[in-house]
Copies of this chain bind each other. A is one copy, B any other.
Amino acid sequence: MTEQDKEIKLVVVGSIGLDTIETPAERREDVLGGSVSYACAAASFFTTAGMVGVVGDDFPAAHRRVYERFGIDLAGLQQVPGRTFRWSGVYETDMNTRRTLSTELNVFADFSPDLPAHYRGSPFYFLANISPELQLHVLAQASNPLFVAADTMDLWIETARTPLLELIAKVNMLTLNDSEARQLTGEQNLVRAAERLLELGPDYIAVKKGEHGCILFSAAGICVIPAFPLAAFSDPTGAGDTFAGGFMGCLAREGAVRDASVRRALAYGSVVASFGVQAFGLDRLLALEPDEIEQRLDAFRRMTSIA
Chain B residues, CB < 8 A from A213: 212, 226
Q: Does A168 contact B (CB under 8 A)?
A: no
Q: Mark A130-142, 1 if CB is under 8 A from B, else 0.
A: 0000000000000
Which B residues touch A260, using CB under 8 A? 307
Q: Are A263 and B94 touching (Cβ within 8 A)?
A: no
Determine whether the beta carbon of A188 is less than 8 Å from that of B306: no
Pick the most buried of A191, A209, A226, A266: most chain B CB atoms within 10 A of its CB: A226
Cβ contact within 8 Å between A191 and B224:
no
Q: Are B302 and A221 in contact (CB under 8 A)?
A: yes
Q: Is the CB of A223 within 8 A of B188?
A: no
Chain B residues near A304 (CB-CB < 8 A): 223-224, 304-306
Complex contact A303–B229 (CB within 8 A): no
- Residues 212-246 of chain A, each 1 if its beta carbon lies under 8 Å from chain B, else 0: 11010000011111100111100000000000000
Max count, chain B CB within 10 A of own CB: residue among A94, A261, A306: A306
Interface membership of A155, Cβ < 8 A:
no
Question: Is A303 a contact of B221 with CB atoms below 8 Å?
Answer: yes
Interface size on A, residues (CB 8 A): 40
**Are A229 and B209 interface neighbours, CB within 8 A?**
no
Q: Is A80 an interface residue (CB 8 A)?
A: no
A64 at the interface (CB under 8 A from B): no
Whether A192 contacts B231 in the complex (CB less than 8 A), given A209-B212, A212-B209, A224-B226, comes out as yes
- Which residue on B lies nearest to A267, using beta carbons? B306
Residue of B nearest to A210 (CB): B212
What is the oligomeric copy number? Answer: 2
Q: Which residues of B contact A190 (CB under 8 A)?
A: 229
Give residues 233-277 of A contacting B (CB, 8 Å): 259-261, 263-264, 266-267
Q: Are B263 and A305 in contact (CB under 8 A)?
A: yes
Instruction: Answer whether residue A195 sits at the interface, using C-beta atoms and an 8 A cutoff.
Output: yes
Q: Is A288 at the interface (CB under 8 A from chain B)?
A: no
Inside 8 A of A305's CB, which chain B residues have their CB? 263, 304-306
CB contact list, A174-208 vs B, under 8 A: 188-192, 195
Q: Tell whether A100 is near chain B: CB-to-CB under 8 Å.
A: no
A-B contact pairs, 23 of them (CB 8 A): A94-B188, A189-B231, A190-B229, A191-B229, A191-B231, A192-B231, A209-B212, A212-B212, A213-B226, A221-B299, A221-B302, A221-B303, A222-B229, A223-B303, A224-B304, A225-B306, A263-B307, A264-B307, A266-B306, A267-B307, A297-B306, A300-B306, A305-B305
* A residues at B contact (CB < 8 Å): 93-95, 188-192, 195, 209, 212-213, 215, 221-226, 229-232, 259-261, 263-264, 266-267, 297, 299-307
- A-B interface, 6 closest residue pairs, ranked by CB to CB distance from nearest: A260-B307, A212-B212, A191-B231, A267-B306, A263-B307, A224-B226
